[in-house]
Copies of this chain bind each other. A is one copy, B any other.
């Protein structure tokens, strides 16, 4: 028995005055509904009732790792997802090229977002030596647009430091502070403050900015850091259950979480991590790699993007694109051999435009998952009446492993 686990980011929603039906209720989803008809439905609290999940903590939980124990910041996931090598103990941070004024007030958090010289700017900073960072190797890599990753390698570092990026403009860059009393956190905060000051100097003096100015582009003269993280120390899915797992994700964060729990990334060029993604290409990739894996995780990001934009029609369109992917799976695999699980990592209601703690619908379909119910529509309201009842994100992988017969008895 194999499994395809589909997690649609922020797909859960709630009705509002303007839209009395949720996007899932409005969308035309014959394949989702076929899953509901054949399988067992329920609702799921990704972390626990009332807790608003981040995408990273929600995925950790759904993969079976208690985020209160295993979540060690977002940075390592992003770095890993971007293809950067991260080892135990390395502290990684998300970094933005930004435009600031001489008083450290942020004018643009993304320096206009268009930064074709990104790699050249990054080279100026990579391998930087800092007075506070003895024995620490600094790696600084540009990924896409304004986005970069900073990695600190060395002894006596901590990820438990505050963000310098205030997430809004027209305010000052925030000094980095230790978030606990350890000397490691204190030292790391000092390193990051020196990093900020020194890179501001280097970038401001770079002739690359003269060219940008000539082209009418904002200067790249500051680096905003946030999401310090380390790799959590955990048993991979393979170590826990002796399974081969793979991940199909357009967005780096999810690829990073998947890597940490032991999934091998499958790269699909048309998977963009945005609403323009090619869901059919992702479904086809899952089918292509099913023979060599026990579990394939497909992540779809576009539903969350549409939610954050408050774009109801786009969310409905994304859901229908995912439905087409599920139809492709149903047309090309046997439910006797492959369990399909479809859910969301959290709700992101159109009326809220951000993550909320509403439970999300979930359906499981497959040979061993036959205690079906009367639910024949996949939606928030319909699934609440399903035979799975209300489960936690942490229950999902154990249930899947039991249905795949990968689990041992506890006791005798």
State the A residues within 8 Å of B (CB).
Answer: 14-16, 43, 47-58, 67, 71, 74, 227, 352, 354-359, 368, 370-373, 380-381, 384-385, 387-392, 395-402, 405, 407-412
Specify which of B15, B370, B411 is in contact with A55 (CB 8 Å cutoff). Answer: B411
16 additional contacts (CB under 8 A) given A15-B371, A71-B411: A14-B368, A14-B371, A49-B392, A49-B399, A50-B396, A50-B398, A50-B407, A51-B410, A52-B407, A54-B411, A57-B410, A67-B411, A357-B402, A384-B387, A388-B390, A390-B391
Specify which of B49, B71, B402 is in contact with A398 (CB 8 Å cutoff). Answer: B49
The reply to whether A355 and B389 contact each other, CB–CB distance below 8 Å, is: no
Whole-angstrom CA separation of A58 from B411 in the bound complex: 8
State whether A50 and B399 are in contact (beta carbons under 8 Å apart), knowing that A14-B370, A370-B14, A390-B390 are contacts in the complex: yes
The reply to whether B371 and A402 contact each other, CB–CB distance below 8 Å, is: no
Q: Can you list 13 residue pairs at the A/B interface with Cβ under 8 Å?
A: A47-B410, A50-B397, A50-B398, A54-B411, A55-B412, A57-B411, A58-B411, A71-B410, A74-B411, A74-B412, A356-B368, A358-B371, A384-B389
A379: nearest chain-B partner, CB-CB: B371
The reply to whether A410 and B53 contact each other, CB–CB distance below 8 Å, is: yes
The reply to whether B370 and A15 contact each other, CB–CB distance below 8 Å, is: yes
The reply to whether A371 and B384 contact each other, CB–CB distance below 8 Å, is: yes
Chain B contacts of A47 at CB under 8 A? Answer: 410
Chain B contacts of A390 at CB under 8 A? Answer: 388-391
Specify which of B352, B373, B380, B402 is in contact with A384 (CB 8 Å cutoff). Answer: B373
- How close is A117's CB to chain B, nearest CB, in angstroms? 28
